[in-house]
């Protein structure tokens, strides 16, 4: 019997995914976690999971943080990202960190089942959008880091460079703090920087705070 761990901060989503899998793929052993800390505890206690369905926009810690800790996990565990963020935004980073595929929650349920089957069969699940994003990443590797940012990420960078907190930036951008926190994680990753001070120095050095 396959063992699947579902990591999502909404109980109704975890139950919906479980029901969908059981209906289409039959009986399986399931585990649940609502955040990175819970998932870490479960995985450290038992590494016999075949698949982890991992959300990105979790409370307190980003789901990608867990992927960055793969050194403490057995390589036999496969990770499939299940997120509301489009593959073009975070798919490349997820794959670079070792995910076996990326499923967007706006896609039909049958595609999630297809993704799960492919990953359990030892394959990768790469949609057309993710393939395009991966190709674009290869083409843009020689560009400046900020040239890889989306409009929203660049907007956040400028706000942070002006001394705004994440909460203040969320208000200015008309977004909730959870979404801005995810943008912030992605921003640091794309820029290959560690702190907001580093971001500010970069922005000033490249005159990004003067952009309109």
The yes-or-no answer to whether 3-136 and 145-205 have a common fold is no
Q: Report pTM.
A: 0.68
Confidence at residue 65, expressed as pLDDT on a 0 to 100 scale: 86
| Terminal-residue alpha carbon distance, the chain | 56
pLDDT for the residue numbered 211 = 45
The CATH T-level fold of domain 145-205 is Arc Repressor Mutant, subunit A (1.10.10)
pLDDT tens digit sequence for 17-35? 999 999 999 989 999 999 9
Packing angle of the helix pair 196-205, 177-191 (nearest 10 deg): 60
Into which CATH architecture does domain 3-136 fall? 3-Layer(aba) Sandwich (3.40)
Going by C-beta distance under 8 Å and a sequence separation of 6 or more, which residues neighbour residue 165? none
| Residue ranges for the chain with pLDDT beneath 50 | 211-212
Widest distance between CA atoms in the chain: 58
Are 99 and 81 in contact, with CB atoms under 8 Å apart? yes
Domain ranges of the chain: 3-136, 145-205
């Amino acid at each position: 019997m396959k063992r699947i761990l579902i990591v999502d901060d909404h109980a109704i989503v975890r139950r919906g995914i479980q029901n969908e899998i059981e209906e289409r793929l039959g009986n399986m052993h399931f585990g649940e976690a609502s955040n990175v800390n819970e998932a870490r505890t479960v995985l450290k206690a038992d590494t016999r999971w075949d698949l982890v369905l991992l959300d990105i926009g979790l409370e307190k810690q980003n789901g990608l943080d867990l992927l960055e800790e793969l050194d403490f996990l057995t390589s036999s565990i496969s990770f499939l990202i299940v997120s509301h963020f489009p593959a073009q935004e975070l798919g490349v980073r997820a794959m670079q960190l070792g995910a076996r595929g990326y499923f967007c929650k706006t896609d039909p349920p049958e595609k999630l089942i297809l993704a799960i089957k492919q990953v359990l069969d030892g394959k990768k699940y790469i949609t057309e959008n993710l393939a395009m994003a991966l190709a674009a990443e290869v083409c843009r590797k020689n560009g400046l880091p900020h040239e890889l940012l989306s409009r929203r990420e660049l907007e956040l960078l400028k706000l942070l460079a002006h001394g705004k907190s994440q909460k203040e930036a969320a208000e200015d951008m008309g977004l909730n703090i959870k979404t801005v926190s995810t943008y912030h994680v992605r921003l640091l990753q794309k820029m290959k920087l560690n702190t907001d001070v580093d971001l500010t120095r970069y922005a000033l050095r490249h005159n990004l705070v003067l952009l309109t």
